[in-house]
């Protein structure tokens, strides 16, 4: 197997940006995500813009709606050592 190099990190992604990115990748509006989660659209906007903290409980709700693990939302910049990734 060929050796591979990790890609260089080019930008930091905030918690709110990770929510927005996953929402947009699934082609959901904030209103649609609000309907799926029961979290008000204004709160979603505030989270995406960094005015309100996501929090673990909301991360669980968003993760269920966005079909991802909550850690993806809570720790967007987390790096896993190569030895543990496989």
Write phi, then psi, for 3 (nearest 5 degrees).
-70, 150
- Can you spell out the DSSP letters for 9-64? P-----HHHHHHHHHHHTT--HHHHHHHH---HHHHHHHHTTSS---HHHHHHHHH
Q: Is the pLDDT of residue 80 over 80?
A: no
Residue 22 has a CB neighbour count (10 Å cut-off) of 20
For 9-65, what is each residue's pLDDT tens digit? 667 889 999 999 999 999 999 999 999 999 999 999 999 999 999 999 999 999 999
Global pTM value: 0.77
Query: Which one-letter DSSP state was computed for residue 68?
Result: S
Residue-range definition of the domain harbouring residue 42:
15-74
Q: What is the CATH number of the domain that holds 56?
A: 1.10.260.40
Q: How many structural domains comprise the chain?
A: 1
């Amino acid at each position: 197997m060929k050796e591979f190099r990790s890609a260089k990190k080019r930008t930091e992604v905030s918690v709110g940006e990770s929510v927005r990115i996953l929402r947009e990748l699934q082609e959901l509006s904030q209103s649609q995500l609000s309907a799926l989660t029961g979290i008000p659209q204004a709160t979603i906007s505030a989270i995406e813009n960094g005015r309100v903290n996501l929090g673990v409980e909301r991360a669980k709700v968003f993760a269920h709606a966005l079909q991802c693990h909550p850690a993806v939302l809570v720790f967007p910049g987390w790096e896993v050592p190569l030895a543990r990734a496989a």
